[in-house]
């Protein structure tokens, strides 16, 4: 009996030690992002991932968007940083991929890359070696978000041309309604406003001419579009030059403005803060009837793996999960952002509208083409438009300064 009891106790103790060892062996990943407003979504995603991979846990951490790239680059340069990185695309991706901070991805270690169109993968590709370094997560669009109830109650219709937009703003103002909630105190917002309001006037042909070197930013098409922006800025938030991004969002969420020029990614945030909002979207107004109405589109970023992580296998498993149609469908329908993953099902009517508008689009110009070198086209556009709307520059002067900065490295402008 004593021998039997000792044997049973030994088996039980062995089982305890095995289970304790398994618990100790659980891998914890850190996952960094700049999307604080998406935290609840990612926590839910992590739960679903852990149901499939119970031996891996994921800690989601966020940082302020304006500081994220600096914080991330500093950590990676020091050989630290997170295991999984929500990385931005284009030039910002190159800034952390070029020094070797990211693990190269291919269809061997991440077969799910086959789920993406080439254009999405190109946004996450390092131009110098042609390798992909992140799984794309969203196609974003710059357009105009509007409050359907405000326009309906005022008996007003959506504008298609620029003159109709100005007339709409005047009619709203006459009814003591703020037409736009936008402010310009947060520099990067000036670029989103340009994309949301001027894309149809700037046009795809201008984009092609800029890329080929047939035109530069002093072109009348670009200067005249900036002049139109200056014209409509009188209908932005009261004292708009001192209104920052969070304040402009809150004005719209509170129903104190009819429109918000910015990203399609704003919709989910607005609805989460005020579920009673009935929202719609429309493209940048055209200069004259018959012109093609456009939105500005780009790929927002991707999910990357830290090349120096000691938990590479677990990190790759998580990134692969973030590349599945299951994830893409949840991402699209929860965050109202378009996942570029093939085979997703879009349930949300506004996101369906964005997808339709994307059939007529141009690139979000500076991000896609001129955010690879310094001074970046985005910084030049943001700062000079900010000055122009504050009355410190003319549209011609703003365009000339933008062109001057890009010409320091862009050879077609040096002719």
Q: Which of 92, 94, 101, 58 is nearest to 317 (CA)?
A: 58
Considering Cα of 403, then 404, then 410, then 415, what sign does the dihedral take?
positive
pLDDT at 4: 52
User: Apex CA 192: angle with CA 188 and CA 196, to 5°?
Assistant: 165
Burial class (CB in 10 A: 0-12, 13-18, 19+), 54: exposed
The answer to whether 206 and 182 are in contact (CB under 8 A) is no
Average pLDDT of the residues in 135-153 = 97
- Mean pLDDT of the residues in the chain: 94
Q: What is the DSSP letter of 140?
A: E
**Percent of residues, the chain, with pLDDT higher than 90:** 90
pLDDT at 171: 98
- In this predicted structure, the answer to whether residue 24 has a pLDDT above a threshold of 90 is no
The CATH code belonging to domain 27-133+301-336 is 3.40.190.10
- In this predicted structure, the answer to whether residue 10 has a pLDDT above a threshold of 90 is no
Average pLDDT of the residues in 130-152 = 98
pLDDT at 255: 97
- In this predicted structure, the answer to whether residue 353 has a pLDDT above a threshold of 90 is yes
- In this predicted structure, the answer to whether residue 125 has a pLDDT above a threshold of 70 is yes
pLDDT in tens, 313-340: 999 999 999 999 999 999 999 888 899 9
- Residue 238: count of CB within 10 angstroms of its CB: 12
pLDDT at 268: 86
What's the whole-model pTM score? 0.85
The CATH code belonging to domain 141-298+366-414 is 3.40.190.10
pLDDT in tens, 67-83: 999 999 999 999 999 99
Backbone dihedral angles phi then psi of residue 368, each to the nearest 5 degrees: -75, -35
How far is the C-alpha of 285 from the C-alpha of 163, rounded, in Å?
9
User: Apex CA 186: angle with CA 181 and CA 192, to 5°?
Assistant: 65
Residue 366, Ramachandran bin (φ over 0: left; ψ between -120 and 50: alpha; else beta): alpha
Q: Which of 194, 198, 193, 182 is nearest to 259 (CA)?
A: 182
Confidence of residue 37 (pLDDT cuts 50, 70, 90): confident
The answer to whether 82 and 68 are in contact (CB under 8 A) is no
pLDDT in tens, 358-375: 999 999 999 999 999 999
How far is the C-alpha of 53 from the C-alpha of 47, rounded, in Å?
10
Domains of the chain, by residue range, sit at 27-133+301-336, 141-298+366-414
- In this predicted structure, the answer to whether residue 7 has a pLDDT above a threshold of 50 is no
The answer to whether 377 and 371 are in contact (CB under 8 A) is yes
The answer to whether 385 and 190 are in contact (CB under 8 A) is yes
Which of 19-33, 335-349, 372-386 shows the lowest per-residue confidence on average (mean pLDDT)? 19-33
Given the DSSP bridges, would you call strands 301-305 and 84-88 parallel, antiparallel or unpaired? antiparallel
- In this predicted structure, the answer to whether residue 174 has a pLDDT above a threshold of 80 is yes
Q: CA dist 31 to 61, 83, 104, 303, 338, Å? A: 6, 6, 18, 9, 21
pLDDT at 50: 97
How far is the C-alpha of 411 from the C-alpha of 120, rounded, in Å?
26
Residue 298, Ramachandran bin (φ over 0: left; ψ between -120 and 50: alpha; else beta): beta
In angstroms, how far is CA 55 from the centroid of its own chain? 31
Given the DSSP bridges, would you call strands 56-62 and 27-33 parallel, antiparallel or unpaired? parallel
pLDDT in tens, 223-240: 999 999 999 999 999 999
Q: Return the C-alpha torsion angle 115, 117, 120, 126, nearest 10.
A: 90
pLDDT at 5: 52
Average pLDDT of the residues in 12-26 = 53
How far is the C-alpha of 233 from the C-alpha of 164, rounded, in Å?
15
pLDDT at 107: 95
The radius of gyration computed from the CA coordinates of the chain, to the nearest angstrom, equals: 24
Residue 343, Ramachandran bin (φ over 0: left; ψ between -120 and 50: alpha; else beta): left
The answer to whether 243 and 237 are in contact (CB under 8 A) is yes
How far is the C-alpha of 65 from the C-alpha of 410, rounded, in Å?
28
pLDDT at 6: 54
What residues pair up with 31 in beta bridges, in sequence order?
60, 84
pLDDT in tens, 178-201: 999 999 999 999 999 999 999 999
pLDDT in tens, 102-112: 999 999 999 99
Burial 363-377 (b: 16+ CB within 10 A, else e): bbbbbbbbbbeebbb
pLDDT at 335: 87
């Amino acid at each position: 009996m004593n021998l039997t009891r000792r044997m049973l106790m030994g088996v039980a103790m062995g089982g305890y030690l095995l289970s304790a060892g398994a618990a100790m062996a659980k891998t914890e990943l850190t996952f960094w992002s700049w999307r604080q407003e998406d935290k609840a979504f990612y926590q839910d995603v992590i739960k679903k991932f852990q149901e499939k991979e119970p031996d891996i846990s994921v800690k989601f951490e966020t940082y302020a968007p304006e500081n994220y790239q600096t914080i991330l680059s500093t950590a990676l340069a020091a050989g630290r940083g997170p295991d999984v990185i929500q990385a931005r695309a284009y030039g910002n991706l190159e800034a952390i991929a070029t020094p070797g901070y990211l693990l190269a991805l291919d269809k061997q270690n991440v077969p799910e890359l086959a789920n993406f169109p080439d254009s999405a993968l190109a946004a996450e590709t390092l131009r110098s070696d042609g390798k992909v370094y992140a799984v794309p997560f969203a196609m974003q669009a710059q357009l105009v978000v509007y409050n359907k109830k405000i326009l309906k109650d005022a008996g007003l219709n959506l504008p298609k041309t620029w003159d109709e937009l100005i007339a709409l703003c005047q009619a709203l103002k006459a009814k003591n309604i703020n037409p736009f909630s936008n402010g310009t105190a947060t520099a990067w917002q000036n670029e989103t406003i340009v994309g949301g309001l001027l894309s149809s006037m700037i046009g795809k042909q201008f984009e092609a001419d800029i890329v080929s070197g047939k035109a530069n930013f002093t072109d009348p098409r670009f200067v005249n579009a900036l002049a139109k922006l200056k014209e409509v800025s009188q209908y932005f938030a009261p004292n708009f030059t001192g209104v920052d991004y969070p304040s402009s969002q809150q004005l719209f969420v509170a129903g104190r403005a009819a429109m918000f020029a910015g990203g399609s990614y704003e919709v989910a945030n607005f609805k989460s803060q005020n579920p009673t909002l009935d929202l719609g979207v429309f493209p940048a107004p055209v200069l004259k009837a018959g012109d093609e109405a456009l939105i500005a589109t780009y790929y927002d970023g991707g999910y990357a793996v830290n090349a120096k992580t000691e938990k590479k296998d677990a990190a790759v498993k998580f990134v692969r999960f973030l590349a599945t149609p299951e994830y893409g469908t949840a991402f699209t329908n929860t965050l109202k952002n378009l996942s570029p993953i093939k085979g997703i099902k879009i349930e949300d009517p506004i996101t369906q509208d964005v997808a339709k508008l994307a059939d007529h689009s141009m690139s979000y110009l500076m991000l896609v083409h001129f955010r690879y070198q310094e001074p970046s086209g985005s910084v030049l556009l943001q700062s000079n438009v900010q000055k122009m709307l504050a009355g410190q520059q003319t549209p011609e002067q703003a365009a000339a300064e933008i062109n001057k900065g890009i010409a320091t490295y862009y050879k077609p402008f040096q002719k």
